[in-house]
Structure 1
Amino acid sequence: MSALRKWLFTGLLVIVPGVITVWVLHWIISTLDQTLYLLPADWQPDHLLGMHIPGFGVILTLVVLLSIGAIASNFVGRKLVSWGDAVITRIPVVRSIYSSVKQVSDTVFSDNGNAFRTAVLVQWPREGVWTVAFITGNPAGEVASYLRDEFVSVFVPTTPNPTGGYFVLMRKSDCVELEMSVDAALKYIVSMGVVVPPPLPLPDEER
């Protein structure tokens, strides 16, 4: 029985990651394929080709994103984006939601943003218990005026879903900066400590 149990769990370890990966990819492709229904009926690939080929929605989405990015990157495009932002920020309720989402997206996706750039080790949720977190910036404005020491903004993600978590302000001296990359730290968190980041190579003088 112990051998059968071992084989069962070994089979699950081999099969489950592949099945979940295929399921996630199928869900993404199926969701993006729904964007094809935004096209006129005569322009839809199913009508033109006479058959459904999965993946056209992915191509259409990439083309749209690249086109919008190319347009928004030039002078005229930036003016249009600024004009659109000005219009939306005049709409009650909508402006509060849009402004919050835009600030987060600008911080995360901007080339000069500083979100999730440094992985740190902090004591959370109490002293003596350590977890991996990310420095997202420095306090500013009214909040900074109440903090006497040097503080940093820290995001403490939850496991195994790092999209949720806690935003806290901690003394910089209480954060232990790690050499591991953000990607390695995220894998470490998502795997609940199972996927350990590889050790860093030793400097030449220590070899």
Structure 2
Amino acid sequence: MKALTKKLLNNFLIGIFAVIPIVIILQIIIFVKDRLTDLFSLVYGYADSYLYTFVVFVLSFFILVSIGHEIVIKGRPLVIRAFEHIIDRIPFLNTIYRVLKKVINMFTSDDQTIAKEVVYVEYPKDGIWVPAYVTNRYENKYVLFIPTSPNPTSGFTVIADKSKVIHSEMDIEDATSFIVSVGVDYDKANEMAKLP
């Protein structure tokens, strides 16, 4: 009886861990659907017309595509510059906006001046190596963001000497996958072998 209970519990846990990624993806899809439904209801509530709502969504789509295209070709469009000019004059909000913009640019920009490399650093003590994102540098000092598993958006920001970090072949996507998967998705065994 004890062996059967243990086997059932083991299979139950394996089943839970197999279903968790599917549930998370479904939750994300449901969240996006709910936000779009709320937006649709808001727009439809003003006009009480499906045609008007459809036109608003199509126009919004093309406006966002146009803004994205203009950013790729010329840089920031006038609309965004005007918004940033207004935000710059509002205390506290200007700081949040500036920081969010820098963080998003770090992960999405092709600009090579933005630090987007991944390194290993000993943290929280010697002999324990963790991946970290290089977010900034000054001379021989690195500013690192050390994410925590399985949520890479939480973590620690530290300053480390260049001699204390080991460069990784991972890119941001590889490192994020490694962190979210709590190390299961890690194909850099050669890097692991080289760590002291």
Regarding TM over 0.5, the answer is yes
Q: Structure 1 residues 101-110 or 122-131, which shifts more? A: 101-110
Which runs of no fewer than 5 residues in structure 1 stay unpaired? 49-56, 145-149, 201-207
Match of 1:154 in 2: 144
Shift of 1:162: 0.7
Letter in 1 for 2:48: D
Shift of 1:156: 0.7
SS at match of 1:166: strand
Q: TM-score, normalised by structure 1?
A: 0.70
Distance in 2 (alpha carbons) for counterparts of 1:73 and 1:20: 32
Q: TM-score, normalised by structure 2?
A: 0.73
- Equivalent of 2:162, from 172, 177, 182? 172
Letter in 1 for 2:27: W
SS at match of 1:137: strand
Percent of pairs with identical residues: 27
Match of 1:34 in 2: 38
Match of 2:193 in 1: none
2:153 equivalent to 1:163: yes
SS at match of 2:159: strand
Deviations 1:105-128 (A, max 9, x none): 344433316556222110012222
Deviations 1:79-130 (A, max 9, x none): 3433332233223443333333334334443331655622211001222222
Match of 1:99 in 2: 98
Distance in 2 (alpha carbons) for counterparts of 1:119 and 1:73: 25
Letter in 2 for 1:23: Q
Contact 1:120 1:135 (C-alpha < 8 Å) held by counterparts: yes
Contact 1:152 1:172 (C-alpha < 8 Å) held by counterparts: yes
Change beyond 3 A, Cα 1:79–1:3: closer
Shift of 1:189: 1.2
Change beyond 3 A, Cα 1:38–1:47: closer
Shift of 1:61: 6.6
Distance in 2 (alpha carbons) for counterparts of 1:76 and 1:16: 40
Shift of 1:163: 0.6
Deviations 1:44-101 (A, max 9, x none): 47988xxxxxxxx7x8875453243245567697334333322332234433333333
Contact 1:108 1:115 (C-alpha < 8 Å) held by counterparts: no
Which runs of no fewer than 5 residues in structure 2 stay unpaired? 191-196
- Name whichever structure is richer in helix by fraction: 2
Match of 2:121 in 1: 122
Letter in 1 for 2:13: F
2:183 equivalent to 1:186: no
Change beyond 3 A, Cα 1:167–1:15: closer
Aligned length: 183
Shift of 1:133: 0.8
Deviations 1:10-53 (A, max 9, x none): 322333322232222111221232222342333447988xxxxx
Change beyond 3 A, Cα 1:99–1:34: same
Match of 2:18 in 1: 14
Deviations 1:186-205 (A, max 9, x none): 111112223322557xxxxx
When the two chains are superposed, the root-mean-square deviation of aligned CA atoms in Å is 3.4
Distance in 2 (alpha carbons) for counterparts of 1:88 and 1:60: 25
Contact 2:40 2:53 (C-alpha < 8 Å) held by counterparts: no
